[in-house]
Amino acid sequence: MKQAMTDIFWANTELIVFLHVISAVIWVGGMIAMRFAAHQSFAHVENPIFRMERIAHALKRLFYIVIPFVIILIVTAVLMAVG
């Protein structure tokens, strides 16, 4: 198993590193956008219960978008660690 992962890594080094970096950029970029853009708009909502519902809905949508990138990040990290 280890030898197969090592062979996969060395055959596709540039692609694996690219996917790893772009996945991290998309994940962190989404969190930064949520913190600095969405957080400011949620601060103007008067009702605290409605505010929490809106934040939960926005985070749910963000996580639906970034889950594939987090999985790619983990897989490429394992390949790079073993390779």
Average pLDDT estimate for 66-73:
95
Strands (E) located in the chain: none
Identify the helix (H) or strand (E) that includes residue 56. helix 48-82
Instruction: Give the pLDDT confidence score for residue 3 in this predicted structure.
Output: 86
Helix crossing, 2-11 with 13-33: angle to 10°?
80
Q: Is pTM, for the whole model, over 0.85?
A: no
6 pLDDT more than 90:
no
The model's pLDDT over 9-50, given as tens digits with 9 standing for 90+, comes to: 888 899 999 999 999 999 999 999 988 888 888 888 888 888
Instruction: Give the pLDDT confidence score for residue 83 in this predicted structure.
Output: 78
